[in-house]
Amino acid sequence: MKRNLVILLLLFSAVAVQAQLRLPHVLSDNMVLQRNATVYIWGWGRAGSTVSLSASWLQDTTRFVVDGSGRWKTAVATSNAGGPYSLDVQADAERITLQNVLLGDVWLCSGQSNMEWSGEQNLKEILDELPKAHDPEIRLLQVSRYGSDYPQDDIPNQWQKLDAQSLKPFSAIGYFIAKELRKELGVPIGIINASWGGTAAEVWTPSYFVDPDPELRAAAEKQTAASFRPHAVGVLWNSMLHPLINYKLSGVFWYQGESNVATWSSYDRLMQRMILSWRLAWNQDYPFYFVQIAPFTYNNKLPLAALLREQQMKTATSLRKTAMVVTTDLVDNVGDIHPIQKRAVAKRLADIALHEHYLKGERDDYKSPMYKGHRVDGKTMVIDFDHVGKSLVVEGKTVKHLFIAGQDKVFHEAVAVVKGNQLLVSSASVATPVAVRFGFGETDMSNLFNSNGLPVAPFRTDDWSF
Assess whether 348 and 392 both reside in one domain: no
Assess whether 302 and 328 both reside in one domain: yes
Is 4 domain-assigned?
A: no
| DSSP class of 225 | P
> What's the total number of domains in the chain?
3
For the residues 298-326, what does the mean pLDDT come to?
A: 98
Q: Environment class of residue 408 by beta-carbon count within 10 Å: exposed (0-12), middle (13-18) or buried (19+)?
A: exposed
Segment 343-373, tens digit of pLDDT: 999 999 999 999 999 999 888 999 999 999 9
For the residues 20-31, what does the mean pLDDT come to?
A: 98
Single residue among 321, 336, 357 that ends a domain in this structure: 357
Assess whether 209 and 66 both reside in one domain: no
Single residue among 39, 71, 102 that ends a domain in this structure: 102
CATH number at residue 87: 2.60.40.10
Assess whether 55 and 188 both reside in one domain: no
Assess whether 279 and 338 both reside in one domain: yes
Which residues form the domain of 339? 103-357
- How far, CA to CA in Å, does 287 sit from each of 36, 100, 110, 313, 354? 17, 28, 14, 16, 12
Is 364 domain-assigned?
A: no
pLDDT, position 19 = 77
Assess whether 92 and 161 both reside in one domain: no
Assess whether 392 and 273 both reside in one domain: no
Assess whether 140 and 59 both reside in one domain: no
For the residues 175-199, what does the mean pLDDT come to?
A: 98
pLDDT, position 220 = 98
Assess whether 211 and 80 both reside in one domain: no
Q: What is the mean pLDDT of the chain?
A: 95
CA 22 to chain centre: 29
Beta strands in 165-255 (DSSP E): 189-195, 251-255
pLDDT, position 214 = 98
Distance between CA atoms of residues 25 and 154, nearest Å: 7
- How far, CA to CA in Å, does 76 sit from each of 72, 124, 248, 429? 13, 41, 11, 67
Single residue among 102, 117, 136 that ends a domain in this structure: 102
Is 466 domain-assigned?
A: no
Assess whether 258 and 333 both reside in one domain: yes
Assess whether 344 and 256 both reside in one domain: yes
Assess whether 319 and 402 both reside in one domain: no
Segment 235-287, tens digit of pLDDT: 999 999 999 999 999 999 999 999 999 999 999 999 999 999 999 999 999 99
Indicate whether 303 pLDDT > 50.
yes
pLDDT, position 466 = 87
Question: 371-402 burial, b for 16+ CB within 10 Å, e for fewer?
Answer: beebeeeeebbbbebbbbbeebbeeeeebebb
Indicate whether 8 pLDDT > 80.
no
Segment 152-176, tens digit of pLDDT: 999 999 999 999 999 999 999 999 9
Is 240 domain-assigned?
A: yes
Is 363 domain-assigned?
A: no
pLDDT, position 18 = 65
Is 465 domain-assigned?
A: no
pLDDT, position 14 = 43
For the residues 298-307, what does the mean pLDDT come to?
A: 97
CATH number at residue 123: 3.40.50.1110
Is 178 domain-assigned?
A: yes
Is 396 domain-assigned?
A: yes
Indicate whether 321 pLDDT > 60.
yes
